[in-house]
Amino acid sequence: MQKEELAGLLNRYLSGNATDNDLFLIDEWFRQTEEVTYILTEERKDIIEKRLLLRLRAITDNTGHRRYGHLRRFVNKRWRQIAAACVLGVGITGYYHRHTMSEILIPEKQQIITAGLYEIRTVLLPDSSKVVLNTGSSISYPLHGWKTRRDLTLKGEAFFDICQRPQPFIVRTRQLHVRVLGTSFVVSDKDKKNTAIVTVLTGKVQVAHARTILTLQPHKQVSVNPLTGIAEVTSANDKAVAAWTHNVLSFSETPLDQVFRAIGQRFKVQILIPPLKQGNEKLFTGTFNINDSLEDVLMALSLSTNITYKRVNDKQVDIQYP
């Protein structure tokens, strides 16, 4: 149930032979993705106007069957989207934004991987591509089908190192769709209110936003303003952009009790923390990388916050505040 099924549904719809079930499926498909519009050139729009608009309106004038009442309401709202689907090859080939019919009819089981609040997590995907998730970020992708389709959804920020394959690799976010074959890049799209950014380290990356598709070369970055929708391409400092990927823990003005909780989870030890008096809370800002041992981390905290620590045993650490 991929683009072939959708083509059949749309053809039956435009010819006036759609069943009630067909109408429901098409309506559901557009309802779930209606916030995204097709990317059409003026030439393509002219084709739609000349070849398909009158045909669509003619269908809505026919009220001889009860399904055409639904048809009239449906086409008046979305005739451009339906026509665009036909002009663009009656499907989603080369188009980033639409979900496939199969995703709606039979939702695929998803693998969801999330980095902890202060954790930077490295993930190996089924095709051996590597993803590094920044703190609090997550990815989700189908458990099956990676031989034919490499497609995932990102919430937050991540570094991608994609293995070269014939199938394109698609990263979907709230505001962007990124398409590559084999390259490394960083995507940051944390919230609809925040600027969405894609930075290319190696290879080429195609980025789609609203009606714009950009091709980025290495050491280039595109920033999309969520208020204006304007995309700006600039040069990027690769090392600065990807610096966080070498860390495993990252804290910014974080209460010490939360810092020790995250460290305990990271190193699988129990950290005993005395209660702090109200108004005497301590905050910590800093990062630790994959080469830092538990002893390194505790020593750094001791030097920067004046805490003392004692290794009770291999699985327990006692913390004392000054």
Residue linked to tokens 């290495």 = 218
Residue 135 confidence (pLDDT): 92
Nearest in space to 217 (alpha carbons), one of 242, 195, 236, 191: 236
Alpha helices (runs of H) in 157-255, residue ranges in sequence order: 238-242
CA–CA dist 85, 80 (Å, integer): 9
CA–CA dist 168, 148 (Å, integer): 9
Residue 215 confidence (pLDDT): 92
Residue 233 in this model has a pLDDT that exceeds 90 = yes
CA–CA dist 265, 118 (Å, integer): 10
Half-sphere exposure of 309 (CA within 13 A, CB side): 21
Query: Between vectors from CA 288 to CA 314 and to CA 187, what angle results, nearest 5°?
Result: 130
The overall average pLDDT reported for the chain is 76
- Give this prediction's pTM: 0.64
Torsion over CA: 229, 234, 238, 240 (sign): negative
Residue 309 or residue 53, greater confidence: 309
Tell me what the mean pLDDT of segment 162-183 comes to: 90
Tell me what the mean pLDDT of segment 262-269 comes to: 92
Residue 19 has which token pair?
């069943």
Tell me 80's DSSP state: H
What pLDDT band is residue 38 in, cutting at 50, 70 and 90? very low
Residue 43 in this model has a pLDDT that exceeds 90 = no
Nearest in space to 191 (alpha carbons), one of 178, 176, 206: 176
Question: 46-85 as b/e, with b when 16 or more CB fall inside 10 Å?
Answer: ebbeeebeeebeebbeeeeeebbeebeebbeebbbbbbbb
For the chain, how far is it from start to end, CA to CA, in angstroms?
A: 65
